[in-house]
Structure 1
């Protein structure tokens, strides 16, 4: 059975579109939005990853495999779409937008 793909954007590279596995994207999106607060200061990417790992389906992310890559891909796409916002801090902190 072929993998269904979804086009995602990258806030850092406007206009650059990548097609990725829809099932993994959606699973990561649900987990990420579940852990990120609605306002600043938000969570660091490392904090978000620690909190979302238990929420990921083990059949898609066995032992958290590739979760870091998917987290970053979904983060950048949701930022490009205005769903997530980043704070100008070091380390970077994320929260849901407006």
Structure 2
């Protein structure tokens, strides 16, 4: 069995820390995340994001949405660190996509 391809991800809260995760799951979640995230503030809460991304995830990678919460958080922190998404300072936090930094714009 082949080892899964890994990708390095960042964390907005730990700028010097790089973590390696499965590329196929990361890319699937990133695609779903950016597909549903609005480009205007205030954006969506974490609960709203998780509720919406599950419908856009491949069943073979996330059967029944399994582990989607962990992957959504990992992608969120990486995209924030890369400046692709931004958080509103609300409670709960809300996230939106920065226009022009994602090819889907």
Fold shared by both chains (TM-score > 0.5)? yes
The equivalent residue for 1:34 is 35
TM-score (norm 1): 0.98
Residue 55 of structure 1 corresponds to 56
Match of 1:13 in 2: 14
Q: 1:44 maps to what in 2?
A: 45
Aligned to 1:19, what secondary structure does the other structure show?
strand
- Could you tell me which residue of structure 2 aligns to residue 76 of structure 1? 77
Q: Which runs of 5+ in 1 are unaligned?
A: none
| 2:102 equivalent in structure 1 | none
Q: What's the CA shift for 1:97?
A: 1.7
- Report how many aligned residue pairs link the two structures: 98
In structure 2, the gaps of 5 or more residues are 100-105
> RMSD in angstroms over aligned alpha carbons?
0.6
Please give the secondary structure, in 2, of the residue aligned with 1:25.
Answer: helix
Counterpart-to-counterpart distance in 2, 1:78 and 1:9: 8
